[in-house]
Amino acid sequence: MNHNISEELFIKAKAMIPGGVNSPVRAFKSAGCNPIFIEKAAGSKIYDADGNEYIDYVGSWGPMILGHCHPKVVEAIQKTAASGASFGAPTALETELAELVCAAYPNIERIRMVSSGTEATMSAIRLARGYTGRDKILKFDGCYHGHADSLLVKAGSGLATFGVPTSPGVPADFAKLTLTATYNDLANVKEIVAANKGEIACIILEAIAGNMGCVPPVAGFLQGLREICTAEGILLIIDEVMTGFRVAYGGAQERYGVRGDLVCLGKIIGGGLPVGAFGGKKEIMDSLSPEGGIYQAGTLSGNPLAMSAGIATLKLIQEEGFYQQLEEKSAYLENGLQQVTENSSVATCWQRVGGMFCTYFQNGPVNNFDDALKSDTDAFGRYFRSMLDQGINLAPAQFEAGFMSIAHSKEDLDKTITAVEKALAAV
């Protein structure tokens, strides 16, 4: 494939934008090649600046569950834009999207819109701290909840239960308030909670960890966290920015039957436009300004354009049979890939929940971040580049999830399966 124009655009971008991208993963560093610059998209396809066509399994990192440029979503955005993009004042559209989301999540009695997943989790954590009067939080290694300071933290060394920054610019004293545990390890959570009794405001997790590939919760893990939080007065924050409306209309909480005290959402509820949200029990949410004293705000929070895209998207995906179709497409791809990989000498492990999935380059299984780190990331890079060259756009990093859309056709899936066979030979 010819990428001359993308290469030129990358050089120009790097002259103005750090790394040439507005979000690091887009730079393809983990893929071992320069990024493609996208010019347009439609359905399951994206098209780069050189006119190359790709079957897209990134889908803007999850939002494009309907496929790109769904006519009804485009129409909703165009119609709203003709009346004004943003007013900095309340609109009925915000309440309409709030009603749709709350109808899908019985544990969300009140919800506030923001403009990114990071804002949603950052705000939920401040709310949990203000509501409980406690300062410490607990997260899981390998889970990503956006780039707020409290969340760019990893386990401290040795027996230290406090966290240390994963990024320069996060004060050590701040990171110390973030405890980190091993995903899917309830015993580890119990020992950390016991060592910090009465001091933890919240436990935050991805109910399906989509930022270390695709790691489902083991049986009893979510329920165990729920019981610990209830017993200890800790708020359980379930970050469904990625899984919300992805693995079921009611997200991972519908799938696994465990309810958080607070829920964070994003991606699909914006239909590709900037929307995040956090919500939960009225008693907790009403602690937020202007009702309560916990401050949280945003100029473009709930803006009409983004609300319109989200409303149009949720109305379409709540239609009868949508998730059954998505499951059938995802299972078809999985079965095809399993057959191909069974005949390959390359060690791979495929993990999937609904329309999100990951191919790990190792034998697996992957139940936590330490497991995920055993993957052969060089092999992933060679595989990724071969798939891209064959017109398949995968998530450009081993520790990311891929996403199915309802627009992917059987022809797309068959082409993908064939491409995998050739790509594994290149690994």
Residues identified as active-site: 144, 239, 267
Q: How far apart are alpha carbons 383 and 385 in whole angstroms?
A: 6
**Residue of 241, 285, 305, 392 that binds ligand KE4 (CB under 6 A):** 241
Q: How far apart are alpha carbons 396 and 243 in whole angstroms?
A: 19
Cβ–Cβ contacts within 10 Å for residue 410, how many?
10
Whether the Cβ atoms of residue 251 and residue 104 lie closer than 8 Å to each other: yes
What element of type H or E holds 45?
strand 45-48
- Write phi, then psi, for 306 (nearest 5 degrees): -65, -40
Give yes or no for residue 400 binding ligand KE4 (CB under 6 A). Answer: yes
CA dihedral sign of residues 321, 324, 330, 333: negative
**Residue of 210, 280, 302, 396 that binds ligand KE4 (CB under 6 A):** 210
Minimum CB distance to ligand KE4 smaller for 145 or for 226: 145
**Residue of 1, 5, 19, 25 that binds ligand KE4 (CB under 6 A):** 25
Q: How far apart are alpha carbons 27 and 33 in whole angstroms?
A: 8
Give yes or no for residue 239 binding ligand KE4 (CB under 6 A). Answer: yes
**Residue of 37, 57, 61, 361 that binds ligand KE4 (CB under 6 A):** 61
CB of 206 to ligand KE4, least distance (A): 5
**Residue of 114, 242, 262, 366 that binds ligand KE4 (CB under 6 A):** 242
196: which 2 tokens?
Answer: 């910090």
Minimum CB distance to ligand KE4 smaller for 145 or for 352: 145
**Residue of 118, 123, 341, 386 that binds ligand KE4 (CB under 6 A):** 118
Q: How far apart are alpha carbons 10 and 6 in whole angstroms?
A: 6
| Piece of 75-83, 111-119, 159-167, 246-254 that binds ligand KE4 (CB under 6 A) | 111-119
CB of 28 to ligand KE4, least distance (A): 12
Minimum CB distance to ligand KE4 smaller for 104 or for 207: 207
CB of 427 to ligand KE4, least distance (A): 23
Q: Which residue is nearest to ligand KE4 (CB)?
A: 117
Q: How far apart are alpha carbons 167 and 44 in whole angstroms?
A: 35
415: which 2 tokens?
Answer: 């082409």
> For 284-395, where are the E strands, in sequence order?
349-353, 356-360, 392-393
**Residue of 44, 52, 80, 121 that binds ligand KE4 (CB under 6 A):** 121
Residues 123-152 contacting ligand KE4, CB under 6 A: 144-146
The closest of 231, 217, 229 to 262, measured between CA atoms, is 229
CB of 14 to ligand KE4, least distance (A): 17
> Which CA distances in Å does 238 have to 108, 125, 209, 259?
12, 11, 11, 8
Minimum CB distance to ligand KE4 smaller for 206 or for 371: 206
Minimum CB distance to ligand KE4 smaller for 368 or for 390: 368
Beta bridge partners of 182: none
CA dihedral sign of residues 336, 342, 348, 353: positive
Minimum CB distance to ligand KE4 smaller for 70 or for 246: 246
DSSP state of 136: E
CB of 231 to ligand KE4, least distance (A): 26
Size of the site for ligand KE4 (CB under 6 A): 19
Give yes or no for residue 206 binding ligand KE4 (CB under 6 A). Answer: yes
CB of 195 to ligand KE4, least distance (A): 26
Task: Mark residues 1-20: x for contact with ligand KE4 by CB under 6 A, - for none.
Answer: --------------------
For residues 131-163, one letter each, b for 16 or more C-beta atoms within 10 angstroms of the residue's C-beta and e for the rest, the string is: bbebebbbbbbbbbbbbbbbbbbbbbeeeebbb
Give yes or no for residue 266 binding ligand KE4 (CB under 6 A). Answer: yes
Whether the Cβ atoms of residue 331 and residue 81 lie closer than 8 Å to each other: no
CB of 340 to ligand KE4, least distance (A): 25
Residue 110 burial by Cβ neighbours in a 10 Å radius (0-12, 13-18, 19+):
middle
| Piece of 44-52, 235-243, 283-291, 367-375 that binds ligand KE4 (CB under 6 A) | 235-243
CB of 34 to ligand KE4, least distance (A): 17
- Write phi, then psi, for 261 (nearest 5 degrees): -75, -30
CB of 276 to ligand KE4, least distance (A): 6
At 205, is the secondary structure helix, strand, or coil? strand
Minimum CB distance to ligand KE4 smaller for 251 or for 340: 251
Interacting residues toward ligand KE4 by CB under 6 A: 23, 25, 61, 116-118, 121, 144-146, 206, 210-211, 239, 241-242, 266, 276, 400
